[in-house]
A = this chain, B = another copy of it.
Amino acid sequence: MTRTRDDAPADGTEDAVRRGVSRRALLGGGLAAGLGVVAGVGGVLGAQQISAAHATDETVDLSRSIPFYATATRMPQPGIRTIPQRYCVYMTFDLAAGAVARSLQVLLARWSAAIAQLQAGKTVGSVVPAAGTGAGQDTGEALDLGPASLTVTVGLGPGVFGDRFGLAGHRPATLAELPALPSDRLDPALTGGDLSLQACADDPQVAYHAIRDLARIARGTATVRWTVLGFGRASAGPDQTTPRNLFGFKDGTRNVSTDADYAKWVQAGTDQGWMAGGTYQIARKIQMNIEIWDADDVADQQKIFGRTKVDGSPLSGGHEHTTPDFAVKDAAGASKIDARSHIALAAHENNDGVKILRRPYNYTDGLNQYGQLDAGLLFLTYTNDPDNFVRLQRRLGASDLLNEYIAHVGSAVFAVPPAPAAGSYIGEALFA
């Protein structure tokens, strides 16, 4: 059963009216006038009946486990092509001042070993020390929980390839700090990092446990820099329905999904040496002013996205998966899809064919300093050339109609090495 609107809700309103509360009071006349939500519930509703249930989304199997080690050469780490799980904890780290190349190597080896355990639904060492005393190795809060399709994806920031670790010769040509971009309103406390962990699972306690225990392993070698908790996936994988962002719109309809697109636009090629089979991760924390958005006309919201709100079809017509037609005009001669709409600016047709793999999650941080709902999108994206993201975001940031409602407050970029073979660890090729 999925959510539908209801033409005649048994909503108590009518009875309340009969009992002496005037309909005018209930529906906002007088007392509630100007509240922004006038008609409240029941009564005059929209006309759409939401489409039928997608049974695959209706049950979640928490016993699934995703293998960590590569079973072929040049496989990406789990958590990139993995069908998006329902939750994500994202965290970046700074390598400590005293860290040397060997510290980084040890950390990557230990993290890899621990992630293999975690993805298999095991603890990271003992919960109760065998000696009977001492601290546990694993903090224990995921005991009894299934693997919940956990994946942990490890990234290496530009700082790893500075002079201090002797790894400058391994710096991928495409990896550099992102340049300033239009619409950036970056908070320094939410940018950068030498390392990143993206833990995704269908149970948030499993994802949080993973990050917590990996952060413990890093103590002394790396310190936590920033973190975001994603509470609902906002992009779809193969056979998944397209989920909605907190603007209420389907997001990710045209995401990279085929092997050919992945190989062309996401996977680092053999020309990239030790990164062959890897990719690059760009993380952006995007605040969304949802209270302001909610007061906007839905017609305007649809113009901004270029799609209808309920079924996600492009404004040029058809259904959600119909290819948008950016040329089609309305009777007045205007483009049905505004040229500054989000889908027009982001479309590969309008960007030299460029596609990026998006794997975003919704987040909320509770309330902001104004007492408004503080929420947005943890925009995680993968590409074999971060400059492709930069060029896309330059266009979006410069003229996207959406910019009135969003702000990019966090940002970082990482090289994501390929998945290690059993017996190896992430980034081992760096230390050969």
A227's partner among B54, B114, B224, B366 (CB-CB below 8 A) is: B366
A333 within 8 A of B: no
Find the B residue at minimum CB distance from A291. Answer: B216
The answer to whether B61 touches A141 (Cβ under 8 A) is: no
Q: Looking at the complex, which one of B16, B134, B367 makes contact with A298 (CB distance below 8 Å)?
A: B134
Contact flags (1/0) for A213-252 with B, using CB distance below 8 Å? 0011101110110111101100000000101111111000
Q: How far is the CB of A5 from chain B (nearest CB, A)?
A: 5
Q: Nearest chain B CB to A100's CB is how many angstroms away? A: 8
Contact among B11, B221, B294 with A139 in the assembled complex (CB-CB below 8 Å): B294
A177 at the interface (CB under 8 A from B): no
Neighbour of A21 across the interface among B35, B53, B106, CB < 8 A: B106
Tell which of B45, B106, B120 touches A6, judged by Cβ atoms closer than 8 Å. Answer: B120
Q: Nearest CB to that of A100 among chain B residues? A: B31
Q: Which of A350-399 contact B (CB under 8 A)?
A: 362, 364-367, 371-373, 375
A226 to B60, CA, bound (A): 31
Which of B1, B12, B54 meets A423, CB within 8 Å? B12
Which of A53, A86, A110, A221 counts the most chain B CB atoms within 10 A?
A110
Contact A298 B136 (CB under 8 A): yes
Across the interface, name the chain B residue whose C-beta is closest to A134: B297
Q: Which of A10, A109, A203, A371 has the most CB of B within 10 A?
A: A109
The residues of B that contact A221 with a CB separation of less than 8 Å are 31-32, 35
Interface stretch (choices A123-131, A158-166, A262-270, A322-330):
A123-131
| B425:A223 contact, CB within 8 angstroms | no
Task: Give complex CA distance A50, B48 in Å.
Answer: 50
Q: Would you call A97 an interface residue if the criterion is a C-beta within 8 Å of the partner chain's C-beta atoms?
A: no
Contacts of A87 in B (CB 8 A): 204, 231
Whole-angstrom distance between the Cβ of A215 and the nearest chain B Cβ: 7
Which secondary structure dominates chain A's binding surface? Answer: loop
Docked Cα-Cα span, A255 to B298, in Å, equals: 46
Binds B, one of A36-44, A179-187, A340-348: A36-44
**Bound CA span A48–B136, Å:** 13
Chain B positions within 8 Å of A424 at CB level: 12, 15-16, 19
Question: What is the CB-to-nearest-CB distance from A166 to chain B, in angstroms, rounded to a whole number?
Answer: 15
In the assembly, what is the distance between CA of A46 and CA of B124, in Å? 11
Identify which of A142-150, A167-175, A276-284 touches chain B.
A142-150
A112 CB within 8 Å of chain B? yes
* Nearest chain B CB to A126 CB, angstrom units: 3
Candidates B106, B113, B212, B243; contact of A11 at CB < 8 Å: B113
Interface flag for A318 (CB, 8 Å)? no
The answer to whether A204 and B232 touch (CB under 8 A), given A126-B44, A248-B141, A428-B19, is yes
Q: Which of A83-107 contact B (CB under 8 A)?
A: 86-87, 100, 102-103, 105-106
Are B40 and A125 within 8 A (Cβ)? yes
Cα-based distance from A146 to B241 in the complex (angstroms): 13
In the bound complex, do residue A428 and residue B16 qualify as a contact, i.e. CB atoms below 8 Å apart? yes
Measured CB to CB, the nearest residue on chain B to A52 is B144
CB nearest neighbor in B for A46 = B126
| Contact pick for A144, options B3, B21, B227, B372, CB 8 Å | B3
Asked if B53 and A58 make an inter-chain contact with CB atoms under 8 angstroms apart, the answer reads: no
Please report the C-alpha to C-alpha distance between residue A420 and residue B15 in the assembled complex, in whole angstroms.
12
Contacts of A65 in B (CB 8 A): 1
Q: A229 touching B366 by the CB < 8 A rule? A: yes
Contact for A9 among B58, B86, B117, B425, CB less than 8 A: B117
Q: Kindly list chain B residues whose C-beta atoms are within 8 Å of the C-beta of A26.
A: 106, 109-110
Are B50 and A143 interface neighbours, CB within 8 A?
A: yes
Would you call B41 and A137 a contact (CB within 8 A)? yes
- Which of chain B's residues have a CB closer than 8 A to the CB of A335? none
Cβ contacts under 8 Å, A127 to chain B = 5, 46, 48, 248, 298, 309-310
The answer for the CA separation of A375 and B89 in the assembled complex, in Å, is 13
Task: Report the Cα distance A87→B69, complex, angstroms.
Answer: 32
Q: Which 4 A-B pairs have the closest CB atoms?
A: A140-B248, A46-B126, A15-B423, A11-B113
